[in-house]
Structure 1
């Protein structure tokens, strides 16, 4: 396992990409905490195992605003709300919405992984998770690889905003760890927002303890 503490987004995104395209797992920073990410179906299964996840929890995609706009199917006024929050106001956001099943990245997931990543024909995606995630999303999208993940913690233990808080078994499962110190939205606690733009609601069915999605945006357990 390799580890980094200095900030070099281009270098670190490339290092993580090299690990992910070879079936590895990576711990990376997001501006609301650390996430555990993968591109490979078997690696995603290892992610579930090390986190001791409940079967009903779904993978989330990590992407950019451009990727979200390309994959999700939303009426113009709701898509403009996503732009307002993520681009204009520069906030992290977990976007839950209907998706285009014919998009190349969605097709790349395969039926088994897709079933583990969708609820009622919706897919969750973290948008604006920080500079490293934006660059990593660019690299994986260009390579035709879906970037998927969850929070870097044992399920139910809460988001970790510094690497030192991540459980040893989770750290040991990662092939690379990118450590950028304490993350931006960590006081008074790690927090962000997940919105189901299909039903236009934020509630426990989407982002609380009963959440079916586990995202690197709101970092549901």
Structure 2
């Protein structure tokens, strides 16, 4: 899951980015509204966390710009402005959720996971594909009812695939959601991760679609 974090407070942005990465999110950080709007317009993100009081362009204007351009990126507004009128204006601008400072990181993580899940078209928190079950609210996997142990990179790939089960996910899309922007990516690294996942869940459950990417299936071997 890839998050765009638009927050001008350096301390909050750093702490949040670290906490989200600990929860296996890939995080891009923008420190002003201009950069945030550009990243939201050009990058592939599962969800955005947007402060309102931003330099250059305020958060509400950024959000209105995304919506006017047809961007359906789920957006959670994170701000110290806790008045009801501010919340109403945020939702009118196109926000999907609203959280006021101070907040618990655990709550933010769960809200972001819920936004990503719903945006992918899943009403239920538990997503099933063959013997594999993903609890999208707490971020855990089970295989045949037993906990499935995954590395962080394996979790990112498998969560991207199961949220789009039976749909081809391109190689580029997976790479965007697995690695932070400043990470050095070996050309075969994704194939290595997919190979490890196949050994853990069954080779026949991850199909390679030549020239495109991968698809998670519920098919039997």
Q: TM-score, normalised by structure 2?
A: 0.32
RCO higher in structure (CA 8 A, sep ≥6): 1
| TM-score, normalising length: structure 1 | 0.32
Which has the larger helix fraction? 2
